[in-house]
Amino acid sequence: MAVPRSGVLGLSLLAVVLAAGVGVLLWQAIELSSVAQVAARIDELKPVATGIRLAFIGLVAALWPWLIGLAHRAGRIGEDKRVDLLAHRWRLVGWLLAIELVLAQDLLGRFLAATTGAVR
């Protein structure tokens, strides 16, 4: 069974509102202080943000069977889909970790800098 359109629309709307909220907060931060101060504060918060993202990935890995079982009991997915989704848990966690390494930790940039001899 597919996800209802209202659910996808609601999540998309939530993502847009959250992104706009973060944008407004950053805009206000730049208006009230210099760009250098904002950049320094963002650098201070990077370890906290990394911890939050890794905790989220861990929660997804730990709660995946429970969430799939909940969707199955609610009648949102059938037995075949439940088994299929349970089998894909570690693939999803692997992709989330790969995205974390490549985008957030700049693994590709660090690798290219190391191979070209540039100091980062």
**What pLDDT digit, counting tens, does each position of 52-86 carry?**
999 999 999 999 999 999 999 999 999 999 999 99
Q: Which residues of the chain have pLDDT under 50?
A: 1
Report if pTM > 0.85. Answer: no
User: Residue ranges of the domains in the chain?
Assistant: 1-32, 46-116
Q: Which residue matches tokens 């659910």?
A: 7
Average pLDDT, the chain: 87
Find out whether 66 and 54 touch, Cβ atoms under 8 Å.
no
Name the residue among 69, 66, 57, 61 with its Cα closest to residue 88: 61
- Residues contacting residue 89 through CB under 8 Å, at least 6 positions apart: 61, 64, 65
CA gap 50, 46 in Å, rounded: 6
Residue 100 is given by DSSP the state: I
